[in-house]
Amino acid sequence: MNILDTIDIAKLDLVKYPDPRLREVCRTVEVFDDRLRALTEKMFAIMYERNGVGLAGPQVGVPLRLFTANPTLEPADERVYINPTILKNDGRQDGDEGCLSFPGIFCKIKRFNVTTIQAQDLTGESFTETGEGLLARIFQHESDHLAARLLVDRMSVAAKLANRRAIKNLEAVFAD
């Protein structure tokens, strides 16, 4: 059964921490159809509405291995990565990182500076792409979401302390 047949794509919205759907390990996408295309279009709309550069399936409550990305916000740079696997990482970068599921929280996160990823496009065709800097960070951040790893899991102790009020506020909103 295609999980997308059970979801009202038009009603999808951003899922925020600590929603348990963010902790679900995602399933492989097996059906490449118009519903998948509609899902990614909705994901781009949500991503742009919230000024993001990447958005993973679980961030809209869909536990599938896919994410959308656009590091430049130029229409020609929109990309969809389905069933991605990181093949290689190299170098180091330490930079500010945020997450749409953690609104208003930014902290220094160590990442690799160059990342090569293999994925499928909307037709199911495999491709390999290497990203550097921001694109490598997006690959790693969104791949973390697909494995149920969140920004809070990557934060240093100091970053957790600096952001504890914002994290507690998110937890309090979810509890209501």
Distance separating alpha carbons of residues 9 and 39, to the nearest angstrom:
6
Please work out, in degrees rounded to the nearest 5, the angle formed at the alpha carbon of residue 11 by the alpha carbons of 137 and 74: 40
Distance separating alpha carbons of residues 41 and 129, to the nearest angstrom:
21
- pLDDT tens-digit series, residues 11-33: 999 999 999 999 998 999 999 99
Topology (CATH level 3) of domain 3-175: Peptide Deformylase (3.90.45)
Q: Are 62 and 12 in contact (CB under 8 A)?
A: yes
Share of the chain above pLDDT 90, in %: 95
What pLDDT, on the 0 to 100 scale, is given for residue 176? Answer: 61
Question: What residues does each domain of the chain span?
Answer: 3-175
Residue tagged active-site, from 49, 129, 142, 171: 142
- pLDDT tens-digit series, residues 120-159: 999 999 999 999 999 999 999 999 999 999 999 999 999 9
pLDDT band at 2 (very low <50, low <70, confident <90, very high): confident
Known catalytic residue at 142: yes
Among 84, 88, 130, 138, smallest CA distance to 109 is for: 138
